């Protein structure tokens, strides 16, 4: 994938015949937007200071900017989302934030029914998203939950089709395994 400014990058790695990892890297934090936000907050604070002549406004503005930046980097801005598929163990989703924090969820293979691309109508357009269908333990044929993937990076259909094809190859393996056992 080319590295343009408004582009996201998909990387597929195959570790072994039954283990693959797909990672989607989002846009990193732009210096331009950070500086714009900081400048606007400080300009507003300075204007308030000129009105009220209270220096607490300026220190409050600095405090707010720092706290806001930390909260944004640690809880909001997602740098990379990755999907690790191991045929006999399960599927693992990881989101890593700009501050280095990683949020991981692992779903065992016995709970996974299938991986599909779903369509959704959002306002005036149709969007596609990849999701995992979870099996209901009481009724093996029905779907109990739908877990959407890559929610922050939102790759487009061409990325999703590649990931979907790779996933299906691995999921096929577990069907052959269960047939031979």
Partner 1 sequence: MVVLKVFFPSCCSSAESGLLVGHWIPEQNSAVILAVVHFPFIPVQVKQYLSEVRQVTQVNVSVLGTWSNCKKKEESLSEFLEDLGTIFSHEPWIQLCKETDSKFWSCSIIQKHPSTPKEDEIILVYYDQRKVMLSHLHPPGNLTNSTDHKAEDASKLAILFDTVAKSKVLFMKDRYDDGPIKLTHWQSEGVEASIIVELMKQASIPVCMLLTFLLSFVSSVCKSRVLKFWPLCFIWSKLSTCEQLGHRLEHLQVISSNRKAQNQPQLMRKANIFVSLLADVALGILLMSWLYRKNRIGHLADTLIPVADHVAKELQDLLQWLMGVPAGLKMNRALDQVLGRFFLYHIHLWISYIHLMSPFIEMILWYVGLSACLGLTVALSILSDIIALLTFHIYCFYVYGARLYCLKIYGLSSLWRLFRGKKWNVLRQRVDSCSYDLDQLFIGTLLFTILLFLLPTTALYYLVFTLLRLLVVVVQGLIHLLVDLIDSLPLYSILLRLCRSYRLAAGVKFRVLEQKTGKPLRLLMQINPLSYGSVVQTYRLPTYSCYPKDSWGSLCKKLFLGELIYPWKHKGEKQD
- Asked if 157 touches partner 1 (CB under 8 A), the answer is no
Rg (CA), the chain: 22
Phi then psi dihedrals of residue 105, to 5 deg: -130, 135
- Asked if 133 touches partner 1 (CB under 8 A), the answer is no
Q: Which of 31, 56, 126, 181 binds partner 1 (CB under 8 A)?
A: 181
Nearest-angstrom CA–CA distance, 70 and 130: 30
Q: Mask 99-118, x = binds partner 1 (CB under 8 A)?
A: -----xxx-x-x--------
With CB under 8 A as the contact rule, which of the stretches 44-52, 79-87, 125-133, 155-163 interacts with partner 1? 79-87
Q: How far is the CB of 114 from partner 1 (least distance, A)?
A: 17
Q: Which helix (H) or strand (E) holds 22?
A: strand 19-25
Q: Which of 35, 40, 142, 144 binds partner 1 (CB under 8 A)?
A: 144
In the complex with partner 1, the residue whose CB is nearer, 124 or 180, is 180
Centre a 10 Å sphere on the Cβ of residue 174 and count the other Cβ atoms it contains.
Answer: 16
- Asked if 173 touches partner 1 (CB under 8 A), the answer is yes
Q: How far is the CB of 181 from partner 1 (least distance, A)?
A: 8
Residue spans of alpha helices (H) in the chain:
31-52, 56-71, 157-180
Give the chain's end-to-end CA distance (angstroms, integer).
41
In contact, 48 and 57? CB cutoff 8 Å: yes
Residues that bind partner 1 (CB under 8 A): 15-19, 21, 84, 86-89, 92, 94, 104-106, 108, 110, 137-138, 144-145, 173, 176-177, 180-181
């Amino acid at each position: 994938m080319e590295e343009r400014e408004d582009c996201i990058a998909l990387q597929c790695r195959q570790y072994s015949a039954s283990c693959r990892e797909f990672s989607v890297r989002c846009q990193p934090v732009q210096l331009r937007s950070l500086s714009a936000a900081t400048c606007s907050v400080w300009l507003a604070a300075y204007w308030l200071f000129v009105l009220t002549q209270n220096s607490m406004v300026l220190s409050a503005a600095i405090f707010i900017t720092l706290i806001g930046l930390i909260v944004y980097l640690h809880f909001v801005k997602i740098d990379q989302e990755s999907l690790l598929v191991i045929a006999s163990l399960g599927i693992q989703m990881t989101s890593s934030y700009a501050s280095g924090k990683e949020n991981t969820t692992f779903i065992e293979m016995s709970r996974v029914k299938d991986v599909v691309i779903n369509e959704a109508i959002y306002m005036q357009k149709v969007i596609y998203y990849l999701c995992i269908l979870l099996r209901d333990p009481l009724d093996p044929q029905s779907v109990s939950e739908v877990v959407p993937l890559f929610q922050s990076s939102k790759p487009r259909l061409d990325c999703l089709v590649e990931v979907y094809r790779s996933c299906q190859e691995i999921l096929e393996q577990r069907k052959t395994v269960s047939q031979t056992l």
